Structure 1
Amino acid sequence: MASTLAHARYGKDKVRVLRVVRDGKTHHIVEYNVTALLEGNIDTSYTQADNSVVVATDSIKNITYYLAKTSPHILSPERFALHLGTHLVSKYAHIHKAFITIEQLRWTRIPIDAQGHLVDGAQGHPHSFFRDGDDKRFVKVELDASAGKDKIVADVSAGISDLLVLKTTESSFENFVRDEYTTLVEVDDRIFSTSVDLSYTFSRVSIPTPSDAKKLEFAVPEVQAGGVWDGDAVARRARAVTLEVFAGDNSASVQATLYKMAQRVVAENAHVDSVTYALPNKHYIPVDMRYIGVDNLSPASAEVFMPIAAPSGLISATITRQ
């Protein structure tokens, strides 16, 4: 039976990196999980057992660690991903594309005041940190040098995953389709909880070609507010928008709240072209206590709830800039 290799990509997954950047007595840290995959003239490694075209995945891992040590852009996942991908497609003549994914784990300074006391709102300890949430920031970069090593372009998306939120009122769900299959009761007040997955896509950017022999240079162009080179500020705004809208919206539905979130992310970041949210319902069902004469079902009296893991609703949408 005739067959052909339609697509090939390979690389290193789950490269775990913790980097400490020392600025005098003040230290900065980032913890990343990095995936780096390559495409190019590598078909013969599959079809003819020709390893001469293979950049070993161990080498990709070592390059990741070397740049984690030497790159001035390590504290920004967007910039570091672009630096790593640019180096890979620039160094190897037969590699035309690099796909870099970075997942950043949260570390926040412990809020210690000058007297050594834990105080909310304090500036934070210069070298002591704690994990203040399970949500992760992520960046996905596609570096494309197919048109030439001097014509590299990048498509970048970023976002947040696993941001768990819950509100105990100002959420309803009414006036939905009712037919012979409907058992859900309309409710004008309920718990609203979800694990936010947010992804936003930046406008395509051109990447300056490294001019040094080892292809390690990486120059950041002029920073435009709300663009990929402004990624840290965009990430802060997107997370703040998500939390502010969730908390403040008198939600008629998950769909309606989602749309308000996405509209603001687009409006507040001039070079974000599209925003996608996926919001799975985290259901909390009031426990029926009528058998002992206790009202725990009406919205005003519901106080004891049973968490339900599955099945759950899943609401998603993509909002684009006009």
Structure 2
Amino acid sequence: MSDDTSFLSSARYGKDKVRVLRVVREGKWHHIVEYNVQALLEGDIETSYTEADNSVVVATDSIKNITYYIAKISPHILIPERFALHLGTHLVSKYPHIHKAFVTVEQLRWSRIPVSGEQGPTEHPHAFIRDGDEKRIVKVEVNASKGKDKIIASVTAGLSDLLVLKTTESAFTSFVRDKYTTLKEVDDRILSTSIDLSYTFSPVEIPKPTDADVEQFAVPAEITPGSVWDTSVPTNARKVTLDTFASDNSASVQATLYRMARLIIAQNAHVQTVSYALPNKHYIPVDMGYLGVENLVPAQAEVFMPIAAPSGLITATVSRK
């Protein structure tokens, strides 16, 4: 086979599953974050693949060490969007031949332990509990392809594994019926899903670090509401998701999903797209007719069998006009 039959069309490498726990101390009041970090690089690295030339390779072990170092020095460590941007900006600024950095941060959910006090329960200043499987997700692309002084960043954020359930005000009727249909129509059912949400912001310009070691990272002095710098966006998006799920008299998962996404876009001026993935968590009423006990009619169904698989999966993306 001749050498002109193929070419390297893309290449990206880095470090995955870098686990970071950072403690930030404010006197006796401590904060913690736990992150799983992935940091990947693109740039003039072709010869490491095509010519076995390692002189262009920033070792993945170095990328791991840089991740820990930025986690140590960054004043933005408690905000995953800003930490990811700080890390990505440092990587593309430090190495002349690296043009893009792709940083994914998965934040595990820790909450303060409430303890008894003279005035009632209070949050403990340095004791925490792992608060479920929900994770906050941030994906950042830091692009210096047009120059180290013209860095542009794209950010997608959201959450995953947010498990929710409601016991009524959910129906599923009037769907297509044909010879393959065995599912019965129901006007009242359990609705449960494990929510994956992502929303993409408008791209932002990142100032070039001005220090010799390109370790500084500047956040705008004035924060534009609804932008990637607005720390209320994740809280509000989560609240919209939960409020809508709880209060919507759902005709279908699709209809509820659409209402959630539209509200997030309406409330955040710089969010361009919102995507949800909502897998059905099925709970099937147990048939007790053989015992003379009614447990299938929705108003009397009280004992259910959780079914893990197969499950429906409902996805959609809603975009700003």
User: Shorter-chain-normalised TM-score: which range?
Assistant: over 0.9
User: 1:63-82 residue pairs with structure 2 within 5 A?
Assistant: 63-82=66-85
2:88 pairs with 1:85? yes
Q: 5 Å matches for 1:1-322?
A: 1=1, 2-115=5-118, 119=121, 122=122, 124-221=123-220, 222-230=222-230, 232-322=231-321
* Structure 2: distance between partners of 1:220 and 1:318: 29
Aligned residue identity for 2:312 = G
AA aligned to 1:226 is G
Deviation at 1:321, TM superposition (A): 1.2
Alpha-carbon distance in structure 2 between the residues aligned to 1:18 and 1:97: 26
Structure 1, 126-135 or 151-160: larger mean CA deviation:
126-135
Query: Could you report, residue by residue, the CA deviation over 1:10-39 in whole angstroms, capped at 9, with x for unpaired residues?
Result: 000001000000011111110000000000
Equivalent-residue separation in structure 2 for 1:4 and 1:115 (angstroms): 71
Offset from partner CA, 1:145-182 (integer Å, 9 cap, x none): 00111100011000000000001111000111111111
Can you list the C-alpha shifts for 1:264-307, whole angstroms capped at 9, x where unaligned? 11111111111000100000011111112111100011111111
Runs of 4+ aligned residues of structure 1 deviating over 3 Å after TM superposition are 113-117
Tell me the SS of whatever aligns to 2:218.
coil
Cα distance in 1 for partners of 2:319, 2:114 equals: 38
- The normalised TM-score by structure 1 is 0.97
Match of 2:240, SS state, is helix
Give aligned pairs, total.
Answer: 317
Structure 2: how far apart are the matches of 1:313 and 1:65?
40
Counterpart-to-counterpart distance in 2, 1:306 and 1:55: 52
SS in 2 for 1:127: strand
User: Following the alignment from structure 1 to structure 2, what is the Cα–Cα distance between the partners of residues 4 and 163?
Assistant: 42
Structure 2 counterpart of 1:103, one-letter code: E
Q: Secondary structure at the match of 2:302?
A: coil
The CA deviation at 1:116 is 9.1
Q: Which runs of 5+ in 1 are unaligned?
A: none
Which SS does the other structure have where 2:237 is aligned? helix
Cα distance in 1, alignment partners of residues 310 and 156 from structure 2: 29
AA in 1 matched with 2:161: D
Residues 247-272 of structure 1: per-residue CA shift (max 9 Å, x gap): 11111100111011111111111111
CA offsets 1:180-231 (integer angstroms, 9 cap, x no match): 111110000000000000000000000000111111111112311111111x
Structure 2 length-normalised TM: 0.97
Measure, in 1, the Cα distance between the counterparts of 2:105 and 2:255: 30
The residue matched to 1:110 in structure 2 has which SS? strand
Q: Deviations along 1:48-85, whole A, 9 cap, x unmatched?
A: 11000000011101111011110101010000000000
* Distance in 2 (alpha carbons) for counterparts of 1:290 and 1:4: 66
Q: Which amino acid aligns with 2:207?
A: P
In the alignment, the residues of structure 2 paired with residue 271 and residue 23 of structure 1 have an alpha-carbon distance, to the nearest angstrom, of 32
Whole-angstrom distance in 2 between the partners of 1:138 and 1:84:
15
